[in-house]
Amino acid sequence: MHRDSRPGLLAAALALLLLATKTASASEGGIVLWPDWLTMLPFMVALFGALVVPVNTLLFRPLLRALDLRVERTVGTRERAEKLAANADEILARYEQAVSDVRIEAEQGRRAELASARSETAARIALARADAERQIERARHEVAAALSDARTRLRAEAEPLAREAASRVLGRVIS
d(CA 32, CA 21): 12
CA atoms within 13 A on the CB side of 45: 5
16 Cβ contact list (under 8 Å, min separation 6): 43, 47
d(CA 61, CA 3): 14
Among 10-14, 112-116, 144-148, where is mean pLDDT lowest?
10-14
Better-scored residue on pLDDT, 98 or 5:
98
Over the stretch 30-88, which tens digit does the pLDDT of each residue have?
Answer: 665 666 667 777 888 888 888 888 888 998 899 999 999 998 889 888 999 999 999 99
Q: Which of 21, 19, 16, 6 is nearest to 47 (CA)?
A: 16
Q: Are 156 and 167 in contact (CB under 8 A)?
A: no
- pLDDT grade, residue 164 (50/70/90)? confident
| pLDDT at residue 124 greater than cutoff 60 | yes
pLDDT at 134: 95
pLDDT at 18: 66
Secondary structure (3-state) at 27 = strand
- pLDDT grade, residue 96 (50/70/90)? very high
d(CA 99, CA 105): 10
| pLDDT at residue 4 greater than cutoff 80 | no
| pLDDT at residue 106 greater than cutoff 50 | yes
Highest mean pLDDT among 16-25, 55-64, 121-130: 121-130
Q: Are 6 and 57 in contact (CB under 8 A)?
A: yes
CA atoms within 13 A on the CB side of 82: 6
174 Cβ contact list (under 8 Å, min separation 6): 163, 166, 167
Q: What is the mean pLDDT of residues 145-154?
A: 89
- Does the pTM surpass 0.75? The reply is no
The proportion of the chain whose per-residue pLDDT surpasses 70, expressed as a percent, equals 83
| pLDDT at residue 23 greater than cutoff 60 | no
| pLDDT at residue 132 greater than cutoff 80 | yes
Q: What is the mean pLDDT of residues 151-172?
A: 83
Chain centroid offset of residue 146 CA: 76
Q: Which of 53, 47, 52 is nearest to 3 (CA)?
A: 53
